Every structure is written in structure tokens, then in C-alpha cells.
Amino acid sequence: MSATEPSIAANQLRSAQAAALADAGLERAIWALAHPGSAQGLADPLPALIPPPYDGSLLVPITAGGVERGGFRLTVVPGGGGNERDIVAVGWTPTDDPGDARAKAHHRLVATIMRIRAPADAAPCALCAVGDLQVAAGAAADARVDTTCGAKLGAWTSGTVVMGPGAEIWGADGNALSNQAGDIAQGQPAERFPTRRATSHRGSPRRQRRRGRSPTASSPRFGASPSHGAPTIEAAWPSTGRACPGMGSSSSTR
């Protein structure tokens, strides 16, 4: 028995290292999908020809303590839904070179990740209401602060907007004037208001963010009295329907 223990221990070590390398490969793929603008990222939508190393053609080496411990191969392809990507990460130690005579271990990890949109990613406005909207005196809603993901209206409602004295609403319509037609949309079809519900995906969730619905109300009162200051709502997500931020919010493994 004692003669085989070193071999068993070595095999167990290689197996654990290969599993860690596969997990590192999965994290690399998720990072690439979440950073499409980076030189090492993956474009969204995926290009017809997936670039290396995400096409499985290259072993990405991992070095620790100045010693190469092995590496991983990655394959990233479109998933079953438009917001899904399928990833295969295979960790190898010490290498996957068939000409290398050393004992090897590999671990294959398959995952489907999905984009879970931020709650307000498709909302057309900084302040949205299904119903009538009453903006308190001195209150403000401003959609001009951040247009990274697209321009928004300052306010959108399926009913009417009642403005208190000194209340101002700005849309990202290219000018500094408030309370104009380009800042406020009234009487919009309620069914056009975007709602978001998480969709199911295979396997147990590996990581996920909560998602929900953009703030809505029935005849809400927005803001506070002047003695408490004039709050401002800042728009941060697009009305274009494209997801922002990028891929990688949730994943499942199998």
C-alpha cells in the first residue's frame, strides 16, 4: 500500500490543479464577455469567427511562482437564447501536449451563462410611471447626467404629468431647456412600459444578480418639499433595448 500512496497523491494533486485551471478558464471567458470593448474581450454579438483563445485553438498557460502549472483551453459559442453563451473550459496539467511523456490530468467544465439586464436597461426614461405622475414643488428629474448607454426622456407616463412650482424635468434631448416636449412623454400606451422577468436556465445558478422592474407607481408623488431639498434622478441605462452592462451576470454549470 505504501508504494502506491505517492502515485495516488500525485494523481489527486494533478486532478485538483486541472479543476482549478478549468475554473480559471471559465472566469476568463466571463470576463471577456463582460468587456467587449477590451482588446482581449469578446464582441457582442459574437463574431462569425470566434478569435483565439476563445475558439479552443490555444492552450492559455498559467504560471505560479515562476513555474508553469498547466493551462486551459476555451470554447465560447452562442447559446440557446440571444442572451446566452455556452462555454467549454478544459484545464490541463502540466500540459496537453501529446508529445510530453509526463503524466497528465484534465478537467472539463461546461457552462451556460446568461445576461441579466439591469432593471432599468430598457426603460425609456429617468422617471417612469404607469398612471399619472405628480412632480413635487422644487423636485427635479434629469436624464442628461449619464448617456453612456443611450439618451433617455426625463419622464415617461401613461397618464398625465402635473408639475409643482419650480419642478424641472430634463431629457437627454441635446439642449439645456427643461419641461419641453423632448423631456416629457405623456399619454403613452401602458403596455409599452418595459418589464423584466428572469428566465430559467439549465443547472444550478453559479452566480446571479437580482433583477426587477423599473420604478413604477399609480399616481405617484415624486420628490420632497423644498425644505428637504430637491432630489434629482439620474439616468444610467439605455432606452435602446441593448443590454448594459455586458454579459456575465449569471451562469450555470453542468
Q: Is residue 250 part of a domain?
A: no
- Quick one: 125 and 90 in the same domain? no
Q: How many CA atoms lie within 13 A of 229 on its CB side?
A: 2
Boundary (domain end) residue, out of 114, 145, 168: 114
- Quick one: 45 and 154 in the same domain? no
* Strand ranges of the sheet holding 125-129, from the earlier edge strand across to the other edge: 125-129, 153-157, 184-185
- Quick one: 138 and 184 in the same domain? yes
- Quick one: 124 and 36 in the same domain? no
User: Could you tell me the residue range of the domain that residue 235 belongs to?
Assistant: 118-196+213-242
* Contact (Cβ atoms closer than 8 angstroms) between residue 94 and residue 69: yes
- Quick one: 156 and 235 in the same domain? yes
Look-up of cell digits 469578446: 42
- Quick one: 28 and 75 in the same domain? yes
Q: Which three cell numbers stand for residue 110?
A: 461546461
Q: Is residue 204 part of a domain?
A: no
Is-above-0.85 flag for pTM? no
Q: Is residue 99 part of a domain?
A: yes
- Quick one: 110 and 123 in the same domain? no
pLDDT values of the chain reduced to their tens digit, one per residue, 254 residues: 567 888 889 999 999 999 999 999 999 999 999 999 899 999 988 999 999 999 999 999 999 888 889 999 999 999 988 889 999 999 999 999 999 999 999 999 999 998 876 655 667 788 888 888 888 888 888 888 877 667 888 898 889 998 889 999 999 999 999 999 999 999 988 776 655 444 433 333 333 333 333 333 333 333 333 333 333 333 332 333 333 444 433 444 44
- Quick one: 138 and 91 in the same domain? no
